[in-house]
Structure 1
Amino acid sequence: MRFNDLSSVPAYLASRRSGKPRDLAAPGPSMDQLAEMVSIAARTPDHGKLAPWRFIIVPDDKRQLLADIITTAYLAEKPDAGRLEIEAQVQFATQAPALIVVMSAPKESKIPLWEQELSAGAVCMNLLHAAHAMGFVGGWLTTWPAFNDEVRDALGGPHERIAGFIFIGTPSRELEERPRPALSDILSVWTGV
């Protein structure tokens, strides 16, 4: 199967595949390309036009600082962490050529929080679509750092949450399919009450 087939929109959507961030290598997008991706990603469903999310590009010269923040926070929670666990935290922040952090930043509004959080998730998905449409591959991770208050506070404020770390680059190896649910397991036709 050819992944991220850009010959048509349906072909792309039917073949969309994220890359594993640890397998993404140079070349990565330029700052101008990242800004264009963010502009595309922001064209997402957003009830109330609140823009309840924001994007943070973590430039190359700040990736190690982010790794240090993540590692310090990890050690505060797990002081007995071994060398491999610590290296994994550094690797998390420094993998792939580019990193955009998406923050869920809900607004005071009559629009329910749930809808605002769904919009933040949609922005993450649109960011992946933008990266893929521009010839790169992205990977959306949350994992431990996304749920740590110290990491969140280094990137935003207490009213925000990390919706995703979006890593972008060029695959260093062939993308592989992953198991997908059978349509019969996820689709039903409502027959009434």
Structure 2
Amino acid sequence: MTLMTVSDVPAGAQAPSLETLLTRSSNNMLTEPVPSDRDLETIFQAATRAPDHGRLRPWRFVVIKGEARQEFVKVLQAATKARKPEATESDLKLLANKFLMQPMIIAVGAKVTEGKIPEIEQVLSAGAAAMNILNAIHALGFAGKWVTGDNCYDPNVNAALGFTRPDRLIGFIYVGTEKMKLPAMERPNPTDFVTEWKGPAAG
């Protein structure tokens, strides 16, 4: 199987939508402005185009911005201190700064419905929605980064944002305008990850 890479496509020959997908990258060096309410409506419309087996609509999105970020940081600090009593004031301040420097945060989670659709498929659907959010943010001229970490999986943080088992957070997406453009990361050759199956291997 022969795959074309971005460099194989003649300049100007790519559809704009593909150009958006092929130029997106993560950036946490963000500032104002953030997406408007109308922009957010578009972003979440894109998010809900994610594959959804059984039409369970498992995606949930919590927007954290403005002064609410201060309250959110208090939740993160309390959860961190409960989980790691040895955490120092310096550790907690560093955690606060990491989130407060982001002008907007979207917490993405999965509302899991018990039944015939496996839980993992519902979580994967929420993950696909998160990727759609990142692509929509980029298409609108903003930037973002999807992060996880211990606090993403902490039950106290989950509960504070409205996720109790079996529901779960799958990540936080930083959202804003690029403060500075980060150096472009070298992308892998897609052919390194693709094979064509032609039947069971001869044994």
Structure-2-length-normalised TM-score: 0.85
1:118-157 aligned within 5 A: 118-156=124-162, 157=164
Show structure 1 runs of 5+ residues with no match.
1-5
The answer to whether the aligner puts 1:19 opposite 2:27 as a matched pair is yes
Q: Distance in 2 between matches of 1:71 and 1:104?
A: 23
- Of 82, 91, 96 in structure 2, the residue corresponding to residue 90 of structure 1 is 96
Match of 2:192 among 162, 170, 185: 185
Alignment TM-score, normalising by the size of structure 1: 0.89
Q: Which moved more, 1:28-37 or 1:41-50?
A: 28-37
Cα displacement string for residues 7-42 of structure 1 (whole angstroms, at most 9, x for unaligned residues): 71121212221212xx11111112332233112211
Aligned residue pairs, count: 186
Q: Which residue of 1 aligns with 2:169?
A: 162
The code of the aligned residue for 1:48 comes to G
> 5+ unaligned residues in a row in structure 2: which ranges?
1-13
Distance 1:88 1:170 in 2: 22
> Contact 1:41–1:124 (CA<8 Å) still a contact in 2?
yes
1:106 aligns with 2:112: yes
SS in 1 for 2:55: coil
Q: Which has the larger radius of gyration?
A: 2
Q: Does 1:74 align with 2:99?
A: no
Post-superposition Cα deviations, 1:145-185, rounded to whole Å, max 9, x if no partner, equal: 10111101101223211111111101111132224333343
CA distance in 2, matches of 1:64, 1:158: 25
Q: Please say if 1:8 is aligned against 2:16.
A: yes
Q: CA 1:61/1:35 → structure 2, altered by over 3 Å: closer, same or farther?
A: farther
CA RMSD for the aligned pairs?
Answer: 1.8
Deviation at 1:57, TM superposition (A): 1.0
Is contact 1:37-1:131 (8 Å) kept? yes
| Identity across matched positions, percent | 36
- 1:85 match: secondary structure: helix
Candidates 55, 58, 73, aligned match of 1:52: 58
1:42 paired to 2:30? no
